[in-house]
Amino acid sequence: MYDTILFPTDGSEATIGAAEHAFSHAERYDASIHVLSIVEVAGGLGTAGRERAALDERRDERASAAERVVSEVEPDGVETTVAVEFGSPARVITDYVDRNAIDLVVMSTKGRSGAERIVFGSITDEVVRRADAPVLAVRR
């Protein structure tokens, strides 16, 4: 049913529960899993020396955080790919789904309050609306 599962994460402890669901589905369906972390950037990517160095540092931090989440829940035998990309989170996730033939997205909700959700929106909500794959939203 699912061959390739995407688990987007910011590497926080709040995403561990969703990671457990993602890896459980991967085991159940003998699927591979892509763990995606995103460095959010406004506008285009700058190439100036200091700006590029700061982006590289943020990329490395995100990769390490994603690896920590994986190490906490990764069952033996699940083929895992960790990726870090730059951009707007919902757009990066939906583009990644298309580029990598993702069959299922498993992601955490952050449990924002009503006011925060109105002001900031919800990455999960946007992914549910735009992704060309089913989305399993796991409440923390």
How do the domains of the chain map onto residue ranges?
4-139
Hey, what are 13's tokens?
A: 């402890």
Q: Rounded to two decimals, what is the model's pTM? A: 0.87
- Helices marked H in 5-131: 16-29, 49-73, 89-99, 114-120, 123-130
- Laid out side by side, the sheet with 4-8 consists of 80-86, 32-39, 4-8, 104-109, 135-139
pLDDT per position in the chain (140 positions), as tens? 899 999 999 888 888 999 999 999 999 999 999 999 999 886 655 556 678 888 889 999 999 999 999 999 977 889 999 999 999 999 999 999 999 999 999 999 875 555 555 544 589 999 999 999 999 999 86
Q: Could you tell me which of 27, 35, 41 has the C-alpha nearest to residue 64?
A: 35
Amino acid 3: pLDDT:
97
Quick one: residue 52, left, alpha or beta (phi over 0 = left, psi -120 to 50 = alpha)?
alpha
The CATH class, in words, for 4-139 is alpha beta
Q: Coil, strand, or helix at residue 94?
A: helix
